[in-house]
């Protein structure tokens, strides 16, 4: 909620691959809020670095701070987010809703099982944070900015965070 996302071209790598740059601009934050923002930024970077080895999670390419702003650079995933796909599926109901939902869940749950095995809870799973990758039609889970880490099976103390309508009631 305090940044922007950009599509960029890495001109230093062969083929000039596309990447996503997330810019966090916490100007005007209180010192306490700034520390929280820095902690969440570092946690997202660490989490992407740890989980980015999975083929359905974007890899972290870089993260850094410059002039009081924080940047994450990660793989670009070509495709549409699930919000777009679900809107299209509802408007073109072909009578195969059960099969569609089952396929969608199987694909997504294998990624979530990996995330949970790594001691991470995403905390912001919603259609806009799931992309149907155009190259292989796999679902890719994005936006690890609200994660919670587990320590020996117990959640570490964190702030409450998530998207209205998708945040867990607890």
For 48, other C-beta atoms within 10 Å of its C-beta total: 25
* H and E: helices and strands count for the chain: 3, 10
Q: Is 98 a catalytic residue?
A: no
Q: Greater confidence, 101 or 21?
A: 21
pTM of the model: 0.83
3-class SS of residue 102? helix
Are 84 and 126 in contact by the 8 Å Cβ rule? The answer is: no
End-to-end CA distance of the chain: 21
Q: What is the pLDDT of residues 26-40, one digit of tens each?
A: 777 788 888 888 888
Q: What is the pLDDT of residues 100-158, one digit of tens each?
A: 888 899 999 999 999 999 999 998 999 999 999 999 999 999 998 888 888 765 554 44
Query: So what's the pLDDT on residue 162?
Result: 57
Q: Could you give the dihedral angle defined by the CA atoms of residues 160, 168, 134 and 89, in that order, rounded to the nearest 10 degrees?
A: -140
Q: Which of 80, 93, 98, 124 is catalytic?
A: 124
Query: So what's the pLDDT on residue 135?
Result: 96
Query: So what's the pLDDT on residue 92?
Result: 66
Instruction: Give the span between the Cα atoms of 140 and 143, in whole angstroms.
Output: 10
Assign 86 a pLDDT band (cuts: 50, 70, 90).
Answer: confident
Beta strand pairing status for 60-66 and 79-81?
unpaired
The first and second tokens of residue 15, run together, are 């083929």
Assign 1 a pLDDT band (cuts: 50, 70, 90).
Answer: low
3-class SS of residue 157? coil
């Amino acid at each position: 909620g305090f940044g922007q996302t950009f599509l960029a071209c890495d001109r230093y790598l062969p083929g000039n691959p596309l990447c996503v740059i997330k810019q966090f601009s916490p100007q005007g934050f209180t010192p306490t809020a700034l520390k929280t923002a820095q902690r969440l930024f570092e946690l997202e970077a660490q989490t992407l670095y740890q989980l980015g080895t999975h083929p359905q999670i974007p890899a972290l390419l870089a993260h850094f701070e410059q002039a009081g702003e924080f940047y994450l650079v990660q793989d670009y995933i070509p495709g549409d987010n699930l919000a777009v796909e679900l809107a299209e599926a509802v408007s073109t109901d072909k009578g195969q809703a059960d099969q569609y939902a089952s396929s969608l869940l199987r694909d997504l749950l294998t990624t979530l099982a990996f995330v949970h095995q790594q001691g991470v809870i995403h905390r912001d799973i919603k259609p806009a944070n799931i992309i149907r990758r155009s190259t292989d039609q796999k679902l890719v889970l994005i936006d690890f900015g609200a994660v919670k880490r587990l320590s020996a099976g117990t959640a570490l103390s964190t702030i409450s965070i998530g998207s209205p309508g998708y945040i867990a009631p607890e």
